[in-house]
Amino acid sequence: MTATQTPPTDHPKTASDSAARRYATVNPFTGETEKEFDFTPTEAIDGIVGRAHSAFQEWRQRSVEDRAAVVRRAAELMDERIHDLAALTTKEMGKRTEEAVGELFLCSMILKYYADNGPAFLQPTPIQPLFGGGEALVETQPVGPLLAIEPWNYPYYQVVRVAGPNLVLGNTVILKHAEIVPQCAEAIEQLFTDAGAPEGVFTNTFLKISDVEQVIADPRIAGVTLTGSERAGSAVGALAGKHLKKSVLELGGSDPFIVLDAEDLGATVKAATTGRMQNTGQACIAAKRIIVPEAIYDDVVAGLQQAWSTFSPGDPTDPSTSLAPLSSEQAAKDLHAQIQDAVDKGATVLAGGNRPDLPGAFVEATLLADVTPDMRAYHEELFGPAAVVYKVKDEDEAIALANDTVYGLGATVMSSDLDKAKAVAERIEAGMVWINQPTGSSPELPFGGIKRSGYGRELSEMAMFEFANRRLLRTVPAKKADKPQAG
């Protein structure tokens, strides 16, 4: 952390979790509470963990092909139910229907990816012994039940990127989802049940936050993964360490979008707009800080202002709507407070900046400039339709600004000169850098960050090994077994 930085506040993805007194579907467009759910009783937790552990003993003994077939069937069921599942997302956290369907399409791809490739990923890796003859293999084995603590912003995607690889590997999963998407959580459990997963292989719970430690502390739980706030990640990581459990944390980011040149200004502006505004800006890998050289700054800003002006709030089920509500009224208030803090301290509003005079959890598509280190918007993640644009003198200043953050999740570099873009990307402190395309996600690409964005990787082959026993099997011919080995 530099001398100018201050620790960020809680990440909005899970801020609602810590304040919630119940699991409930509260439509962020209408503000109406449509359905409420009781918390899982504390006294029921032991039985839930017990069933997940018992299921693990049987599930791990199945062939990897059988486990993969269940995961593939879940993907097929997701395809069949895609519109009903998407409607739940829109109802519970306000995602536009088009984007909700797109999320489910990606989820199906992820499940199919692990169903198709997981068995090959789990093949033993041979090692040539340096002495003693025989053979050595590194085997990949499951470790047991996992607790997955997941956020609301991508209510299916966040879950399947944990469930896909781990169910194929042979682990079982207990889900504690965000309190504002309970029906999505139930629907995911039903998918795996209907796909043939035995009881306890994938279990949804409505856990209270105060009961999370009981689950992590249980000796039958092998690990915990969390996507959410820095504060929640710090707490869960500490608990995992206390109880000697493996953890994976994805804790958000303040991703830079670095423009090195703008030979195709339209493509650059489009990429920045897409990178920032997808999912109403409620994405940890969104392009939140747009960094532009002074020579082309005015042209890029003019293009961004034009693009930002096209976003119109409305019903997320209406195909003509370009700006959906945020996930909750509290999320809208929190984002607007960050914007107002910057404005009060002298930031320039290039677009938006207000809450429209409409019902629903809306904030205007906002573009800020002249943001300085004394403002919250400089250090904190803006989790919604708001971005900050910065003017820099050269590449060195752009890189220094990009790295002047406690986060390190993703980054984007835009340039017609690929060699220059790669050289800049090499100096960016992030878990993922994309060149000439906004940061995104695909099943085969590892996803994760560094610094206060967390640790560990999801997706790709790497995800198969986060919660695995990479066991050595060393076999020496009997006639040489009497030779002493060091260590």
Cβ–Cβ under 8 Å, residues 416 and 261: yes
The residue assigned the tokens 């918390």 is: 39
Half-sphere exposure of 6 (CA within 13 A, CB side): 11
The amino acid at residue 98 is: E
Q: Rounded CA gap, 89 and 417, in Å?
A: 40
How do beta strands 255-259 and 246-250 pair? Answer: unpaired
CB-based burial label for 344 (10 Å; 0-12, 13-18, 19+): exposed
Determine which helix (DSSP H) or strand (DSSP E) holds 324, and give its type and residue range. Answer: none
CB-based burial label for 209 (10 Å; 0-12, 13-18, 19+): middle
Q: Across the strands, what pairs with 249?
A: 226, 455
φ, ψ of residue 470 in degrees (nearest 5):
-85, 85
Q: Across the strands, what pairs with 367?
A: 351, 387
Q: How many helices and strands, by DSSP H and E, does the chain display?
A: 15, 20
Q: Rounded CA gap, 419 and 426, in Å?
A: 11
Q: Rounded CA gap, 144 and 53, in Å?
A: 7
Residues annotated as part of the active site = 250, 284
Q: Rounded CA gap, 395 and 393, in Å?
A: 7
Determine which helix (DSSP H) or strand (DSSP E) holds 113, and give its type and residue range. Answer: helix 97-121
